[in-house]
Structure 1
């Protein structure tokens, strides 16, 4: 069975640009490049990955596209462009020449709660479909109501929720996040990445049973056709190693049919991002 990691990052560490990687995350205050990820993918039966933007610049998008052009295992790139720009269609037209560029993301978790209601941002979202670009929704759980409104307004746009919308796993708080997931999962144009969970848990003391109630919610609400695995490597390294992440999901999914497991490890990410073999 082949697998594709739907969500990971590369960077040449810059303490100013990457100031979100603070001293509590010393483990990842260094460069992470394709040669660091490639052996981990091989060891865990992954044939490829999708590289996702970590900083908000077109330079970042170009950096990831350059890496993808030199490494066949990088099957797709989720980049950044200023979706609020008046010339967003022109920028999207420019980026549409790159076959491996599949979609865009904005770090909405760092924005005010009303960000996704902004006219300029929504104009950018409205521009994506013409170029068949996807959009990754990166939010905290309390921003789910705004995300629900967004996906409702753009039924033809393909969306995927990153990191299961970042519930507060460490505290065990689940109720309001669960309500939001139940609502957003009803929309046919929304997928969800099983990613970023360990970094919302207690980094040093989490165990699979801490994640299970949250996994139960997303598996109950998103069908096996709408879920995909993402490691969030190397961010995950602050709380786990790659192998442990994969094993945790393997164990949880052992109850599923092989067909459904294959969808979550491989088929869904391939079809969502329209990846080539």
Structure 2
């Protein structure tokens, strides 16, 4: 069975995506029906929806929207990696609530769109450690120059399962093999990190 663990769906009538206006090639809707047709042709049987960095006020609405889609006949969606804000004081209470929803499989905070000191903050790191023991994952979405911050976070939360998105986003076009090669070898030594082979032709 092939499971797509990184499905992005976009519904601009239902949710706000502040970043889309700056990426014209992606500034359109991406529906489940469109995806399902292509996915089935490729042998994909199930999918996890990956949060799409919606407006912070729409985070819970995004999860509800995707969960609703999962209940429709023929849906490939079986769970979601949802957006979160570990840097905020309300994260602990929010985490307790979300952990009770079996549809949620993990979390992501896109870190290359915020200053590095967000992931270096004491509250952020404390809240990431709270995920330990929940069976839920945390996806790392970082650029090569942020790999040291990612490694530090992984080391501070050894009981949390991390997923490195897009192989750490190497600069393929710029042929910048180094220091990315050394960095990904270093993070791969951590037993609580796995990687997604995606984005390597971007």
**TM-score in same-fold range (> 0.5):** yes
- In the TM superposition, 1:124-163 aligns within 5 A as 124-163=127-166
Give per-residue Cα distances to partners, 1:36-73, cap 9 Å, x unaligned: 11111110011111110012423222222222233642
- Matched with 2:91 is 88
1:188 to 162, 173, 191: 191
| 2-structure distance, mates of 1:13, 1:97 | 28
Give per-residue Cα distances to partners, 1:22-48, cap 9 Å, x unaligned: 46533x322112111111111001111
Q: Do residues 197 (structure 1) and 195 (structure 2) align?
A: no
Normalising by structure 2, what TM-score? 0.89
Please state whether the residue corresponding to 1:103 is helix, strand or coil. Answer: strand
Q: Which has the higher contact order (CA 8 A, sep 6+)?
A: 1
| 1-structure distance, mates of 2:75, 2:131 | 25
Please tell me whether the aligned partners of residues 88 and 127 of structure 1 are also in contact (alpha carbons under 8 angstroms): no
| 1-structure distance, mates of 2:163, 2:124 | 17
Structure 2 unaligned blocks of 5 or more: none
Deviation at 1:3, TM superposition (A): 0.7
Structure 1 pair 24–10 and aligned structure 2 pair: CA distance change class (3 A): closer
Q: How large is the Cα RMSD of the aligned pairs?
A: 1.9
Please state whether the residue corresponding to 2:146 is helix, strand or coil. Answer: helix
Please state whether the residue corresponding to 1:104 is helix, strand or coil. Answer: strand
Structure 1 pair 119–5 and aligned structure 2 pair: CA distance change class (3 A): same
Structure 1 pair 23–121 and aligned structure 2 pair: CA distance change class (3 A): closer
- Matched with 1:68 is 70
- Matched with 2:32 is 34
Please tell me whether the aligned partners of residues 116 and 149 of structure 2 are also in contact (alpha carbons under 8 angstroms): yes
Structure 1 unaligned blocks of 5 or more: 200-277
Q: Do residues 46 (structure 1) and 39 (structure 2) align?
A: no
- Matched with 1:169 is 172
| 1-structure distance, mates of 2:62, 2:120 | 25
Give per-residue Cα distances to partners, 1:215-250, cap 9 Å, x unaligned: xxxxxxxxxxxxxxxxxxxxxxxxxxxxxxxxxxxx
| 1-structure distance, mates of 2:199, 2:21 | 17
- Matched with 2:114 is 111
Task: Give the aligned length.
Answer: 196
Deviation at 1:147, TM superposition (A): 0.5
| 1-structure distance, mates of 2:23, 2:153 | 33
| 2-structure distance, mates of 1:197, 1:21 | 21
- Matched with 1:251 is none
Structure with the bigger percentage of strand:
2
| 2-structure distance, mates of 1:180, 1:114 | 20
Give per-residue Cα distances to partners, 1:242-263, cap 9 Å, x unaligned: xxxxxxxxxxxxxxxxxxxxxx
Please state whether the residue corresponding to 1:106 is helix, strand or coil. Answer: strand
